[in-house]
Amino acid sequence: ESKKLWGGRFTKPLNTQLDTLNSSIHLDKRMYAEDIVGSQAYARSLKTAELLSDDEVTAICDGLEKVKLEWESGEFLIKEGDEDIHTANERRLKELIGEPATKLHVGRSRNDQVITDMKLWLRSALHKLIELLKELIQVMIKKAGREIDILMPGYTHLQKAQPVRWSHWILSHAWTLKNDANRLREILKRTNVMPLGSGALAGNPFDIDRNVLAYSLGFDGVTQNSMQAVSDRDFVVEFLFCASLIGTHLSRLAEDLIIFSTKEFGFVAVDESFSTGSSLMPQKRNPDSLELIRGIGGSIFGECCGFMMVLKGLPSTYNKDLQSDKEAMFNSFDRLLSILKVTVGTVETLKVNPSKCVEALSFEMLATDLAYYLVRRNVPFREAHHLAGKVVAEAERKKVYIQDLTLEELRNISVHFDADVAKVWNYENSVEQYQAIGGTSKTSVISQIELLKSWLTTE
């Protein structure tokens, strides 16, 4: 006879290879607490529906509490036939309290049970990630405030473009992460809708009050179509996508820092505690923290991509293919959590080298400013751009720095150049021009810090 909970109509045991493949307990035991809370709440609604007596509900709820303690203390013994967390908890409950345990599953299916567990689990996972993102933003804000006076080259195409504040660069990443945190909050709303009471696919035939049940489990509402409810893994996909996007953002941050930490740039030094050495080359100090963030960040997208392929082409409602949802969800969460933590530490301990940043600036990067100088003297921008370009070319031809061209040489290019053109060759003046919201001037950077701070405290 089959040892399975569903074994009534079976005479043969499950093939052992298939049993291993089919079993998900090694992964979904992670949701033991959610499974138990969900069952306790469900038992209470069975009482309202007069399917369980007071005593039976008490026995079930207390028994489940004991099961939970066993999981917590590591005493829970997984037995043959425990193919997933749902069957394992029910089997153990029956061992502990006997008959009332056999009444718990009435009207319920593992199909609505498993997604209820997952949604409860994901809810707290999302909160954890949001908190960690906020911590990282906090670290960035602090750094940006302290190091606001440092100027460095800003790059486009990885070519020197215009001078910017180092803090402006830091905050560019902080703003992205703020959007990420908000995105997680959005999916939290859509995740927090209760599927329990959908049964296997057709609904619940007993007099349970799903709204009360949802309320008691902290859900914001209930699903409105049982077939949709048991089919739906969009909350998982949305999470996988958001996790992938955050992974991408952390990866881009890491890539900037990997470049900035090379000897050739030298803008930053990754702390020893976040670097490793080489087994062969004694001098090496490698930014492994950042490389792991970059690599693992990418691999999260693999989970998203893989699970989308599982969903595509599935017929309606529950199919066993869906069981891989948990692996994708847990893997993505674990990876994201670990790289977020390492990012917090790496950024927190990062040392910036202000002189290296400034040394990397060159006056050529102020060619735009030279054009703006002419614009402020009523030269149309296109013409000014062209003239400033000629100045660059002239300096190249003469093999001198752009700022070393004489006024006469400049006036040969345009009569609009005057002695005060010398003022252009100042990086501080250059960044301070960018006063409009979002620019790299000091006031703008300070107001960015203030805005992010108030977001951190109010959200």
- Catalytic residue ranges: 157, 278
**CB 338, min distance to ligand ARG, A:** 24
Q: Is 5 in the site for ligand ARG (CB under 6 A)?
A: no
Q: 241-254 as b/e, with b when 16 or more CB fall inside 10 Å?
A: bbbbbbbbbbbbbb
Q: 357-386 as b/e, with b when 16 or more CB fall inside 10 Å?
A: bbebbebebbbebbbbbbbeeebeeeebbe
Q: How many residues does the chain have?
A: 459
CB under 8 Å to 77, separation ≥6 — which residues?
none
**CB 219, min distance to ligand ARG, A:** 20
Q: Determine which residue in the list 140, 148, 322, 449 makes contact with ligand ARG, applying CB under 6 A.
A: 322
In the bound state with ligand ARG, the residue whose beta carbon lies nearer, of 45 and 323, is 323
In the bound state with ligand ARG, the residue whose beta carbon lies nearer, of 56 and 325, is 325
Q: 25-64 as b/e, with b when 16 or more CB fall inside 10 Å?
A: bebbbbbbbbbbbbbbbbbbbbbebebbeeebbebbbebb
Query: Distance between CA atoms of 347 and 351, rounded to whole angstroms?
Result: 9
Q: Is 217 in the site for ligand ARG (CB under 6 A)?
A: no
**CB 227, min distance to ligand ARG, A:** 14
**CB 312, min distance to ligand ARG, A:** 17
Query: Distance between CA atoms of 61 and 93, rounded to whole angstroms?
Result: 10
Using CA of residue 277, residue 281, residue 284, residue 288, what is the dihedral sign?
A: negative
Q: For residue 425, with 0-12 CB atoms within 10 Å meaning exposed, 13-18 middle and 19 or more buried, which class applies?
A: middle
**CB 112, min distance to ligand ARG, A:** 9
Q: Is 84 in the site for ligand ARG (CB under 6 A)?
A: yes
Asked if residue 35 lies in contact with residue 117, where contact means CB atoms within 8 angstroms, the answer is yes
Q: Is 90 in the site for ligand ARG (CB under 6 A)?
A: no
Q: Determine which residue in the list 71, 166, 274, 318 makes contact with ligand ARG, applying CB under 6 A.
A: 318
Of the candidate spans 95-103, 248-256, 303-311, 317-325, the one that interacts with ligand ARG by CB under 6 A turns out to be 317-325
**φ/ψ (deg, to 5) at 281:** -100, 110
Query: Distance between CA atoms of 102 and 84, rounded to whole angstroms?
Result: 17
In the bound state with ligand ARG, the residue whose beta carbon lies nearer, of 318 and 427, is 318
Which helix H or strand E contains 399, and what residues bound it? none
Of residues 100-129, those binding ligand ARG (CB under 6 A): 110-111, 114
In the bound state with ligand ARG, the residue whose beta carbon lies nearer, of 110 and 165, is 110
In the bound state with ligand ARG, the residue whose beta carbon lies nearer, of 92 and 165, is 92
Of residues 257-296, those binding ligand ARG (CB under 6 A): none
Of the candidate spans 212-220, 315-323, 403-411, 450-458, the one that interacts with ligand ARG by CB under 6 A turns out to be 315-323
In the bound state with ligand ARG, the residue whose beta carbon lies nearer, of 40 and 324, is 324
Q: Determine which residue in the list 14, 24, 93, 148 makes contact with ligand ARG, applying CB under 6 A.
A: 24
Asked if residue 328 lies in contact with residue 303, where contact means CB atoms within 8 angstroms, the answer is yes
Q: Determine which residue in the list 323, 331, 430, 444 makes contact with ligand ARG, applying CB under 6 A.
A: 323
In the bound state with ligand ARG, the residue whose beta carbon lies nearer, of 85 and 374, is 85
The torsion angle over the Cα atoms of residues 52, 54, 59 and 64, rounded to 10 degrees, is 70
Give residues in contact with ligand ARG (CB under 6 A).
24, 28, 84, 110-111, 114, 318, 322-323
